[in-house]
């Protein structure tokens, strides 16, 4: 049996029937919500990907005073990375509360403005050489602001997409949230690879790293325009007319269970899709370009699997697809890492392996948003699913780079990433096994 917070079922087509306010057809409103929800998420993960891919460059610019080692600077960079993730639950609670009380639309507008401003300012920030010890503190402060806004993004975007989704397509619509994660990470990796190709190492370290952050400004303005044209969701409009307090203990239990179900997705996703470049460079002596190519392949596999996995979960259920992904990730973690460590292994085999690893993560990420939306009623959906996602990401994604880098340094074992992925995915599979097999057929709850 699954744990969810119960309430009256939503009407699948919404109270307005096939057409919404102002006579707009329901399919048009659904597609508009899909695009507006996706674009902010794309920007968020583009930036987080860029920060991860440029971790070694950022470490040199912000966390390496005279006499400091490169390894120590990289650990401090990942600590800043993790700190932003730990502010995600705060943002999820803060913006989620506003989103469940005031509405999805105004909250998502505020979130994208905050994310755009913080990311653009990182691209303008003076480095340690210019500003001294204040530089890493200012960078960390902006990372905190990003964490707050990112915490408010997921719950709102998924609520928007799933509440506007046509009957029987909630898994596919929710999967677009994960798909834009892949697109954002791919865009960040592509930008990093392009800059590494056209700029010298000195240019990249001096000013080239700033360009991907500054590019967020026009993207954010585009996202703002799309969200200003949004309508409020039918589920929220109906629930606002009939406010009912949610049972707090049940909500807390659902949040904890949701975080456990996402654990494998969070850990495996960040290990394979973001931490991999720095691991390949610092542990396996790969070049920056080689590490980025591996990451692009992993993200391509991830992107290719997400939408089919979401659509498949609409047919066979969230449990079957997500448990399969967690089990395969746990079983394949060590063979994948051993292949990457083998200097004599064919390059094509390594590329296929990292692409396959990304696809396995996609099996969990595709149905994941819809699975979370189905766990919470409308009156707490923004807050509940946002907190479950943010807590899981704070612990198992945000700390992935820090844990893997520090444990590898302390133990000397180069298999730490595989241990991390396998352990978290086993626990996640057990939590996912408690899902009901027919959750995908049930209406969202009020």
pLDDT digits (tens, 9 = 90+) for 215-238: 999 999 999 999 998 889 888 888
CA separation for the pair 292, 274 (Å, rounded): 10
Phi-psi region of 279 (alpha: psi -120 to 50; beta: other; left: phi over 0): alpha
Tokens coding 340: 């990457």
* Angle, CA 283 vertex, CA 279 and CA 286 arms, to 5°: 80
- What average pLDDT does the chain have? 85
CATH code where residue 83 lies: 1.20.1250.20
- Whether residue 197 is predicted with pLDDT greater than 80 in this model: the reply is yes
Per-residue pLDDT at 284: 76
In a domain, 369, yes or no: yes
Query: Higher model confidence: residue 82 or residue 22?
Result: 82
19 domain-assigned? no
What pLDDT band is residue 244 in, cutting at 50, 70 and 90?
A: low
What total of structural domains would you count in the chain? 1
pLDDT score for 368: 96
197 φ/ψ sector (left φ>0, alpha ψ -120 to 50, else beta): alpha
**19 confidence band (pLDDT: 50, 70, 90):** very low
Q: Which residues does 363 contact at the CB level (< 8 Å), separation at least 6?
A: 305, 309, 321, 322, 324, 325, 328
CA distances from 5 to 94, 217, 251, 252, 384 (A): 20, 39, 6, 10, 10
In a domain, 10, yes or no: no
Distance CA 111, CA 158 (A): 14
Q: Does pLDDT of 97 surpass 50? A: yes
Q: How confident is the model at residue 400 (pLDDT cuts 50, 70, 90)?
A: confident
Per-residue pLDDT of 349-358, as tens digits, reads: 888 988 999 9
52-70 mean pLDDT: 71
More confident residue, 59 or 142: 142
Whether residue 238 lies inside any domain: the answer is yes
Angle (deg, nearest 10), helices 347-365 and 248-270? 170
Better pLDDT: 427 or 238: 427
Query: Which of 3-7, 155-159, 343-347 is the least confident region?
Result: 3-7
Mean pLDDT of 276-283: 72
Look at residue 280 in the predicted model and tell me its pLDDT. 77
Residue 81: band (very low, low, confident or very high) from pLDDT cuts 50, 70, 90: low
> Which pLDDT band holds residue 68 (cuts at 50, 70, 90)?
low
Structure tokens at 406: 């520090």
Domain-embedded: residue 12: no
Whether the CA torsion 169, 306, 118, 215 is positive or negative: it is: negative
Domain assignment of residue 15, yes or no: no
Residues in contact with 222: Cβ distance below 8 Å, sequence separation at least 6, in sequence order: 39
pLDDT at 358: 93
Q: Report yes or no on 4 lying in a domain.
A: no
The predicted structure's pLDDT at residue 13:
38
pLDDT range class, residue 326, cuts 50, 70, 90: very high
The whole model's pTM is what?
A: 0.81
Examine residue 20 and state whether it is found in any structural domain, yes or no: no
Question: Which of 21-30, 145-154, 325-334, 409-418: highest mean pLDDT?
Answer: 325-334
What is the domain extent for residue 322? Answer: 25-441
Distances (CA, A) of 362 to 91, 291, 346, 423: 25, 20, 25, 18
Identify whether the C-beta of residue 41 lies closer than 8 Å to the C-beta of residue 153.
yes
The reported pLDDT for the residue numbered 9 is 43
Q: How far are the Cα atoms of 345, 360, 363 from residue 264, in angstroms, in the given order?
A: 28, 11, 11
CB distance 296 to 190 below 8 Å: yes
Under the phi-then-psi rule, with left for phi > 0, alpha for psi from -120 to 50, and beta for the rest, what region is 444? beta
Per-residue pLDDT band for 242 (boundaries 50, 70, 90) equals: low
Over residues 204-210, the mean pLDDT reads: 88
* pLDDT at 70 (0 to 100): 64
State the pLDDT confidence band at 129, using cuts at 50, 70 and 90.
confident
CA atoms within a 13 Å half-sphere pointing along the CA-CB vector of 130: 9
Phi, psi of 25 (to 5 degrees): -65, 145
């Amino acid at each position: 049996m699954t744990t969810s917070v119960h309430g009256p079922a939503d009407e699948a087509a919404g109270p307005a029937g096939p057409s919404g306010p102002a006579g707009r057809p329901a399919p048009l409103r659904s597609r508009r919500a899909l695009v507006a929800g996706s674009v902010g998420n794309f920007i968020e993960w583009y930036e987080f990907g860029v920060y991860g891919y440029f971790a070694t460059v950022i470490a040199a610019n912000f966390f390496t005073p005279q006499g400091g080692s490169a390894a120590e600077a990289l650990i401090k960079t990942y600590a800043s990375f993790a700190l932003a993730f730990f502010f995600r639950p705060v943002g999820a609670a803060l913006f989620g509360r506003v989103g469940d009380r005031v509405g999805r639309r105004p909250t998502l507008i505020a979130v994208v403005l905050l994310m755009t401003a913080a990311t653009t300012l990182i691209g303008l920030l003076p480095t340690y050489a210019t500003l001294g010890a204040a530089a890493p503190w200012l960078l960390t402060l902006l990372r905190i602001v990003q964490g707050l806004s990112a915490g408010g993004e997921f719950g709102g975007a998924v609520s928007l997409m799933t509440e506007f989704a046509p009957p029987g397509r909630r898994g596919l619509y929710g999967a677009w949230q994960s798909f834009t994660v892949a697109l954002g990470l791919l865009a960040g990796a592509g930008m990093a690879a392009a800059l590494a190709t056209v700029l010298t190492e000195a240019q990249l370290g001096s000013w080239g790293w700033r360009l991907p952050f500054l590019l967020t400004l026009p993207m954010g303005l585009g996202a703002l325009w799309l969200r200003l044209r949004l309508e409020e969701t039918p589920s929220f409009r109906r629930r606002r007319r009939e406010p009912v307090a949610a049972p707090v203990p049940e909500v807390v239990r659902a949040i904890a269970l949701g975080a456990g179900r996402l654990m494998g997705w969070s850990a495996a996703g960040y290990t394979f899709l973001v931490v991999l470049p720095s691991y390949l460079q610092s542990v396996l002596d790969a070049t920056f370009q080689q590490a980025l190519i591996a990451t692009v392949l992993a993200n391509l596999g991830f992107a290719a699997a997400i939408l089919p996995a979401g659509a498949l979960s609409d047919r066979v259920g969230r449990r079957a697809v997500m448990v399969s992904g967690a089990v395969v990730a746990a079983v394949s973690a060590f063979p994948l890492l051993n292949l990457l460590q083998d200097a004599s292994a064919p390059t094509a085999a390594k590329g296929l392996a990292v692409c396959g690893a990304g696809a396995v993560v996609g099996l969990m990420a595709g149905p994941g948003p819809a699975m979370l939306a189905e766990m919470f009623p409308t009156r707490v959906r923004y807050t509940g699913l946002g907190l479950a996602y943010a807590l899981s990401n704070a612990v198992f994604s945000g700390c992935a780079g820090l844990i893997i880098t520090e444990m590898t340094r302390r133990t000397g074992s180069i298999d730490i990433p595989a241990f991390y992925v396998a352990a978290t995915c086993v626990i996640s599979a057990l939590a996912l096994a408690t899902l009901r097999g027919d959750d995908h057929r049930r209406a969202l709850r009020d």
